[in-house]
Amino acid sequence: MDLSLDEAGMWKNIRDGHQWTIRKCKRLGFEARMVPLHEHIDAFMEVYRETMDRVHARDSSYFGRDYFIRLAELREQVHYCFVELGGEPAAACVFFECGGLFQAHRGGTKSSFLSKSPFHLALFHAAEWAKARGNRYLHLGGGVGGTDDRLLSFKRGFSPMTFPFFTLRLITDPEKYRTLTALSASAVAVPLETRLQSAYFPAYRTPR
């Protein structure tokens, strides 16, 4: 999202269906707030884990509580937005902030509120908050594994703006990498060389 636009310009770039959902959430009484992550770790973990379970996320997509506790120590660079209804958490998202870029990291929606889509409100509120702080872009990320999927389609509903992205594949310990890949291949009865030649990186995390 281009945060240099005025509020009318930002809103115009949002897909009609997303606009309707954001308005609906506000009308129903959902409230979005930016709060310190370190004060709300447990509430966030409840939303995050429920979301990961619901979408049958790969093990590598799960981040433990200790990870978010350590993130929360970066109080100037890590921010937390949550949406609630009647005091009950409904949706949440963790963001990074650096050099004018506001980056969505991890988040989700409580299953009991899924039909109301409060995560739309969380992202919109975070965009307004980040804009007020002088950030240039809100980056929502891409699809799963960089693919053009439903997740990417959802994110593109907030802005037509896209950028190319690049990843670096670097193996810092070839011996350990081969060992981990061998263990992964053995677990699913796949030849080691087949797994090493996989287009997926790192090879030891190749989906079954």
Q: Is there a single domain that holds both residue 30 and residue 125?
A: yes
Residue 108: how many other CB atoms lie within 10 Å = 23
pLDDT band at 48 (very low <50, low <70, confident <90, very high): very high
Note whether 19 and 121 are same-domain residues: yes
The answer to whether residue 165 is domain-embedded is: no
**Would you give the DSSP letter of residue 2?**
B
Torsion over CA: 197, 203, 206, 208 (sign):
positive
Q: Is the residue at 188 inside a domain? A: yes
Going from the C-alpha of 69 to that of each of 7, 32, 60, the distances in angstroms are 34, 22, 18
Is residue 101 included in any domain, yes or no?
yes
* Structural domain contains residue 66: yes
Q: Specify the number of domains making up the chain.
A: 2
What is the dihedral angle through the alpha carbons of 7, 13, 14, 16, rounded to the nearest 10 degrees?
Answer: 110
Q: Identify the pLDDT of residue 156.
A: 92
- Report the percent of the chain where pLDDT is more than 90: 79
Q: How confident is the model at residue 146 (pLDDT cuts 50, 70, 90)?
A: low
Residues 123 and 192 both lie in one domain: no
On whether both 178 and 152 belong to a single domain, the answer is: no
- The reply to whether 151 and 190 lie within a common domain is no
Could you check whether the bond before residue 89 is cis, i.e. omega within 30 degrees of 0?
no
Q: Is residue 104 part of a domain?
A: yes
More confident residue, 78 or 164: 78
Query: Average of pLDDT values for 186-208?
Result: 89
Domain containing 101 equals: 7-156
Residue 14 has pLDDT above 70, yes or no: yes
In a shared domain, residues 140 and 178: no
Residues 103-122 have a mean pLDDT of 96
Same domain, 53 and 125: yes
Same domain as 111, residue 29: yes
Q: What average pLDDT does the structure give for the chain?
A: 92
What pLDDT is recorded for position 3? 97
Using pLDDT thresholds of 50, 70 and 90, give the confidence band for residue 103. Answer: very high
Q: Is residue 127 situated within a structural domain?
A: yes
The Cα–Cα gap between 167 and 115 comes to 35
Which has more confidence, 182 or 148? 182
Task: Examine residue 1 and state whether it is found in any structural domain, yes or no.
Answer: no
Mean pLDDT of 74-88: 95
List strand residue ranges (DSSP E) for the chain, in order.
31-35, 78-85, 88-98, 101-109, 137-139
Summarize the confidence of residues 23-34 as an average pLDDT.
97
| Residue 143 clears pLDDT 80, i.e. is over it | no
Average pLDDT over residues 138-161: 84
Does position 181 have pLDDT exceeding 80, yes or no? yes
- In this predicted structure, what is the pLDDT of residue 30? 98
Instruction: Answer yes or no: is pLDDT of 164 > 90.
Output: no
Residues 144 and 180 in one domain: no
Q: Residues 124, 185: one domain?
A: no
Pairing of strands 137-139, 101-109: parallel
pLDDT band at 167 (very low <50, low <70, confident <90, very high): confident
CA 186 to chain centre: 32
Do 108 and 145 share a domain, yes or no? yes
Q: Please check whether residue 166 lies inside any domain of the structure.
A: no
pLDDT number for residue 58 = 76
pTM of the model: 0.81
